[in-house]
Amino acid sequence: SQKIEQNSEALNIQEGKTATLTCNYTNYSPAYLQWYRQDPGRGPVFLLLIRENEKEKRKERLKVTFDTTLKQSLFHITASQPADSATYLCALPYNNNDMRFGAGTRLTVKP
């Protein structure tokens, strides 16, 4: 069966460091992958989409990689700030209209 795994439930890092979150998937061949941010008490907010033919994508301090051979996406936040503290979810298409989400990684950036 199809599975999406995010490396850990929680990740704690010091302000200014780079946070790296992992999304692994099995029994999928997605044409793209999305990353969302979710703050407590709020719905997920879309951050980035990366297609299978794109190795890397950047948006300000965010960088996403997509390795279809390893079946893995890495999500990096450089120069992290306490305001980056949130839960980050990866999502893959199940079919054209249906996205399936990972359980999320809760990132805490300590000042």
Partner 1 sequence: DAGVIQSPRHEVTEMGQEVTLRCKPISGHDYLFWYRQTMMRGLELLIYFNNNVPIDDSGMPEDRFSAKMPNASFSTLKIQPSEPRDSAVYFCASSLTGLGIDTQYFGPGTRLTVL
| Binding of residue 11 to partner 1 (CB under 8 A) | no
Number of neighbouring beta carbons within 10 Å of residue 97: 6
Q: Do residues 48 and 32 make contact, with C-beta atoms less than 8 angstroms apart? A: no
Q: How many residues lie near partner 1 (CB under 8 A)?
A: 23
Return d(Cα 107, Cα 101) in angstroms, integer.
17
Site map (CB under 8 A) of partner 1, residues 29-48, x = contact: --xx-x------xxxxxx--
Return d(Cα 89, Cα 21) in angstroms, integer.
10
- Of 49-108, binders to partner 1 (CB under 8 A) are 49, 89, 93-104
Return residues touching partner 1 (CB under 8 A).
Answer: 31-32, 34, 41-46, 49, 89, 93-104
